[in-house]
């Protein structure tokens, strides 16, 4: 082991090479050593130490006792015989110096918490660091030492420990690992038994795990502790939670608590493609044609969240299974300004050393030089190349485009290939322009080009949309518009996301009506509903009733999607602006709009937009493209580059609901959800 270990949590223990050092005989000397360790690597004046440990002694007597205690400590440390670990003294100061082979549990504890704080975006790493920290906490700092100086550090470390436990509960809950969350929640009640929220957390987690009796027993423990220690009864919130769980047990209701291993929460478990059989058959036919040397273009369009990425991922698997080579590119916002960025990503995704060496045999050096210019990482696999010798920018651009076209042809001749570009609305013009010019010749080569894009955002880029239209006019092309899932497919998606669990028909119908069959909205609403179920244990609103009453939360992922389309209204179009606001707020045309209506958060705006049926009429009257469901209509509400946002509040809608002249939906605008449901 060859290491000195000092433990200050749960007592005071010094170990060297796995063996505990002989105890220091004097209690005060042990306290002094603990103080020096806790405040290591810096000098402390003898006057400070005397005043801390022998405050009632005359100064001369205190100094003698300090010297005696230091002698005891230095004698004990002789067993370590480790350079760099020692108590150093001068006539005026004392310090404990540690080396790199001295491990102190409080230092490690703080280190793990600091690492966890920087790993919030990586739940697995954060959990590892937090669990390492709480494992070190064997008890209070210097348990059994009652010196005043230790109390401040004791409270700090205890607070950090409880904060880490709370965070572990939250992270494990977010991943639906309720058993682990429960184990840490119980530790909170053990170390802080008067904290009622911790008891409620244990009750909720027991309920989510189906251990209703344990949840009720936890309430009894909470009530007993409060009565004994404070002479009070549990708070109203705790009593209501107890009543809700008791009622749920009597009614036989079960919480909505999918296991952590279900596809809904486990990103490592892919769900099968739901629906899309007809669309998939179309692309499979084109794959077969490419295998026979006749390539083509397949355009896959649809709104955000409709499942284009999942569909293209399935197509990539189909192509690989049939022996085609696959090149993938997934441009991100901002990539439209990187010339040939899409083709560079595609080549980097699918070109191996062997394939690059094969290209080195069949292509001219100047073509390879241009390829290496676009994809520098391939140069290591290519033979030494001569410079192209081009002088002007126009000549260079023309030559590079022609060279990349020859690379695509060569790849298709080496092996039939499919080039898949997802989120092509962010593709650069150079890549898309080259492919559009090449599209009419694809029938002569074994190259299938699949482009997926958000139709509305692609239309916003005139140059990109012109290239897409050109590809749409090429020989053998196919354009597929992905539609929303129907009711049966929605039900299948819900059940697959829950690991094959059957769901009631009215639950599926409620989600279908609420989301319009948009796969992203379905899954994000399920996740958000699950989070709401964690936070609120109410027996009078079962999962099916929650769906039936349309009291669904607006999920974070949905909000982000809507924000891209509802990022604002163009201030230069006041007519459109005012008409939309009037529709959302149910304000009659003869009333003046309140200038404060735009001062609230987007989340509430999304909530009300989902409620307001008159919005559909206004959009149609203004000639704005919309789809059947309220969710999809909302996506089409505003141009993607707009700058101002609609935001609303339930109170204002409730106040003005009776002024609406439109036909109300089956969801009453005048009865907005509670604040808890909105959060």
DSSP state string for 4-18: EEEE-BTB-EEEETT
pLDDT for the residue 631? 34
Helix (H, G, I), strand (E, B) or coil at 447: strand
pLDDT band with cut points at 50, 70 and 90 for residue 517 = confident
CA dihedral over 396, 398, 403, 404, signed as positive or negative = positive
What are the distances in angstroms from CA 544 to CA 22, 219, 320, 401, 572?
65, 27, 42, 57, 45
Helix (H, G, I), strand (E, B) or coil at 417: strand
Considering the domain architecture, whether residues 589 and 448 belong to the same structural domain is answered as no
Share of the chain above pLDDT 90, in %: 33
Partners of residue 19 on adjacent β-strands: 16
Residues 5-25: pLDDT tens digits? 888 898 888 887 777 777 777
What are the distances in angstroms from CA 1 to CA 102, 105, 339?
12, 16, 57
Considering the domain architecture, whether residues 461 and 567 belong to the same structural domain is answered as no
Q: Where are the alpha helices (DSSP H) in 473-613?
A: 487-497, 505-515, 519-535, 543-548, 556-565, 574-585, 602-611
Considering the domain architecture, whether residues 443 and 564 belong to the same structural domain is answered as no
Q: Over 80: is that where the pLDDT of 457 sits?
A: yes
| Residue 89 phi, psi dihedral angles, 5° rounding | -130, 150
Considering the domain architecture, whether residues 476 and 565 belong to the same structural domain is answered as no
Considering the domain architecture, whether residues 453 and 566 belong to the same structural domain is answered as no
pLDDT for the residue 541? 42
Q: Evaluate whether residue 625 is within a structural domain.
A: yes
Helix (H, G, I), strand (E, B) or coil at 262: coil
Helix (H, G, I), strand (E, B) or coil at 585: helix
3-state helix, strand and coil shares in percent for the chain, rounded to the nearest 5: 55, 10, 35
Q: Over 60: is that where the pLDDT of 650 sits?
A: no
109 against 654, higher pLDDT = 109
Considering the domain architecture, whether residues 569 and 658 belong to the same structural domain is answered as yes
Considering the domain architecture, whether residues 444 and 564 belong to the same structural domain is answered as no
Q: Evaluate whether residue 24 is within a structural domain.
A: no
pLDDT for the residue 99? 66
| Average pLDDT over the chain, rounded to an integer | 76
Residues 575-631: pLDDT tens digits? 444 544 444 444 455 555 444 444 333 334 444 444 333 333 333 333 333 223 333
Sheet containing 478-481: which strands, arranged edge to edge?
325-329, 417-421, 447-454, 296-302, 478-481
Considering the domain architecture, whether residues 293 and 394 belong to the same structural domain is answered as yes
Q: Evaluate whether residue 526 is within a structural domain.
A: no
Q: Evaluate whether residue 131 is within a structural domain.
A: no
Q: Over 50: is that where the pLDDT of 140 sits?
A: yes
Q: pTM for the full model? A: 0.54
pLDDT for the residue 253? 61
**222 vs 598: CA distance, rounded Å:** 45
The mean pLDDT value for 538-565 works out to 42
Residue range of the domain that includes 340: 277-481
675 against 223, higher pLDDT = 223
Q: Looking at 38-52, 252-266, 276-290, 546-560, which range is the least confident one?
A: 546-560
The mean pLDDT value for 88-99 works out to 84
Across 560-587, b (16+ Cβ under 10 Å) vs e yields ebbeebbbbbeeeeeebbebbbbbbbbb
What are the distances in angstroms from CA 271 to CA 174, 494, 519?
20, 10, 12
The last residue of one of the domains, among 457, 481, 505, is 481
Considering the domain architecture, whether residues 450 and 343 belong to the same structural domain is answered as yes
Q: Over 50: is that where the pLDDT of 669 sits?
A: no
pLDDT for the residue 530? 63
Q: Over 70: is that where the pLDDT of 70 sits?
A: yes
pLDDT for the residue 577? 45
Q: Evaluate whether residue 608 is within a structural domain.
A: yes
The mean pLDDT value for 562-578 works out to 42
The mean pLDDT value for 174-192 works out to 88
pLDDT for the residue 27? 79
571 against 149, higher pLDDT = 149
pLDDT for the residue 2? 61
Q: Evaluate whether residue 644 is within a structural domain.
A: yes
Start-to-end CA span in the chain (Å) = 52
Q: Looking at 384-388, 480-484, 514-518, which range is the least confident one?
A: 384-388
Asked if residues 116 and 129 have their Cβ atoms less than 8 Å apart, the reply is: yes
Considering the domain architecture, whether residues 392 and 476 belong to the same structural domain is answered as yes
pLDDT band with cut points at 50, 70 and 90 for residue 166 = very high
Q: What is the CATH number of the domain that holds 445?
A: 3.40.50.300
User: Which H or E element spans position 56?
Assistant: none
Considering the domain architecture, whether residues 392 and 297 belong to the same structural domain is answered as yes
Q: Over 60: is that where the pLDDT of 390 sits?
A: no
Q: Evaluate whether residue 302 is within a structural domain.
A: yes
554 against 468, higher pLDDT = 468
The last residue of one of the domains, among 481, 496, 512, is 481
The mean pLDDT value for 391-420 works out to 89
What are the distances in angstroms from CA 640 to CA 564, 567, 634?
6, 7, 12
pLDDT for the residue 257? 56
pLDDT for the residue 95? 85
The last residue of one of the domains, among 422, 448, 481, is 481
Q: Over 80: is that where the pLDDT of 454 sits?
A: yes
Partners of residue 7 on adjacent β-strands: 13
Q: Over 80: is that where the pLDDT of 1 sits?
A: no
Partners of residue 6 on adjacent β-strands: 14, 104
For 675, left (φ over 0), alpha (ψ -120 to 50), or beta?
Answer: alpha
Q: Over 50: is that where the pLDDT of 411 sits?
A: yes
Q: Evaluate whether residue 324 is within a structural domain.
A: yes
Considering the domain architecture, whether residues 472 and 566 belong to the same structural domain is answered as no
Domain count, the chain: 2
512 against 630, higher pLDDT = 512
Q: Over 50: is that where the pLDDT of 55 sits?
A: yes
Q: Over 70: is that where the pLDDT of 640 sits?
A: no
Q: Over 90: is that where the pLDDT of 649 sits?
A: no
The mean pLDDT value for 536-560 works out to 43
**389 vs 172: CA distance, rounded Å:** 60
Asked if residues 292 and 323 have their Cβ atoms less than 8 Å apart, the reply is: no
């Amino acid at each position: 082991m060859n290491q000195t270990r000092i433990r200050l949590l749960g007592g005071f223990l010094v170990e060297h090479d796995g063996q505990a050092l002989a105890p220091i005989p004097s209690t005060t000397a042990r306290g002094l050593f603990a103080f020096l360790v806790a405040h290591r690597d810096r000098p402390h004046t003898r006057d400070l130490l005397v005043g801390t440990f022998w405050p009632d002694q005359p100064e001369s007597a205190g100094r003698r006792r300090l010297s005696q205690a230091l002698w005891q400590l230095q004698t004990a440390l002789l067993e370590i015989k480790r350079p760099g670990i020692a108590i150093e003294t001068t006539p005026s100061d004392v310090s404990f110096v540690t080396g790199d082979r001295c491990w102190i549990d409080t230092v490690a504890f703080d280190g793990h918490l600091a690492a966890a704080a920087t790993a919030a975006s990586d739940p697995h790493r954060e959990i590892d660091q937090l669990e390492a920290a709480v494992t070190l906490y064997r008890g209070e700092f210097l348990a059994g030492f009652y010196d005043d100086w230790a109390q401040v550090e004791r409270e700090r470390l205890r607070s950090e420990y409880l904060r880490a436990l709370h965070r572990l509960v939250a992270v494990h809950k977010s991943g639906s690992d309720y058993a682990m969350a429960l184990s840490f929640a119980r530790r909170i009640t053990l170390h802080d038994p008067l904290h009622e929220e911790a008891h409620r957390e244990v009750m909720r987690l027991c309920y989510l795990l189906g251990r209703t009796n344990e949840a009720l027993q936890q309430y009894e423990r909470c009530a007993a502790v409060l009565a004994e220690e404070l002479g009070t009864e549990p708070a109203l919130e705790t009593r209501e939670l107890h009543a809700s769980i008791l009622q749920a047990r009597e009614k036989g209701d079960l919480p909505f608590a999918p296991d952590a291993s279900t596809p809904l929460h486990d990103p490592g478990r892919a769900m099968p493609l739901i629906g899309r059989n007809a669309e998939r058959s179309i692309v499979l036919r084109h794959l077969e044609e490419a295998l026979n040397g006749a390539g083509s273009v397949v355009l896959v369009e649809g709104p955000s969240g409709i499942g284009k990425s999942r569909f293209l991922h399935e197509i990539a698997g189909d192509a690989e299974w049939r022996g085609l080579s696959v090149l993938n590119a997934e441009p991100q916002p901002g990539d439209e300004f990187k010339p040939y960025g899409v083709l560079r990503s595609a080549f980097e995704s699918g070109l191996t050393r062997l394939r690059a060496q094969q290209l080195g045999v069949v292509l001219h050096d100047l073509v390879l030089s241009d390829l290496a210019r676009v994809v520098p990482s391939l140069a290591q696999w290519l033979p030494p190349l001569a410079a192209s010798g081009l002088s002007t920018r126009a000549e260079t651009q023309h030559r590079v485009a022609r060279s990349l076209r020859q690379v695509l042809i060569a790849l298709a001749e080496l092996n039939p290939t499919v080039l898949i570009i997802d989120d092509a609305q962010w593709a650069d013009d150079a890549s898309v322009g080259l492919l559009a010019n090449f599209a009419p010749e694809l029938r002569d080569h074994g190259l299938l080009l699949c482009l997926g894009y958000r139709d509305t955002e692609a239309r916003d880029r005139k140059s990109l949309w012109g290239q897409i239209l050109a590809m749409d006019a090429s020989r053998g092309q196919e354009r597929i518009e992905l539609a929303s899932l129907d009711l049966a497919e929605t039900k299948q998606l819900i059940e697959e996301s829950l690991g094959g669990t059957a769901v009631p028909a009215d639950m599926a119908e409620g989600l279908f009506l609420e989301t319009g069959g948009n796969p992203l909205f379905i899954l994000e609403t399920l996740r958000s509903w699950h989070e709401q179920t964690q936070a609120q244990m109410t027996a009078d609103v079962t999962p099916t009733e929650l769906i039936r009453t349309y009291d669904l939360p607006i999920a974070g992922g949905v909000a982000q999607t809507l924000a891209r389309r509802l990022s604002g209204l163009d201030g230069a179009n006041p007519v459109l602006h005012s008409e939309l606001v009037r529709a959302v707020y149910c304000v009659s045309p003869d009333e003046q709009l309140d200038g404060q209506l735009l001062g609230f958060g987007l989340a509430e705006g999304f909530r009300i937009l989902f409620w307001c049926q008159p919005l559909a009429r206004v959009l149609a009257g203004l000639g704005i493209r919309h789809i059947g469901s309220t969710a999809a209509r909302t996506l089409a509400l505003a141009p993607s580059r707009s700058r101002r946002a609609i935001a609303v509040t339930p109170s204002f809608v409730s106040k003005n609901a009776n002024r609406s002249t439109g036909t109300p939906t089956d969801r009453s605008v005048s009865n907005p959800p509670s604040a808890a449901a909105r959060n």
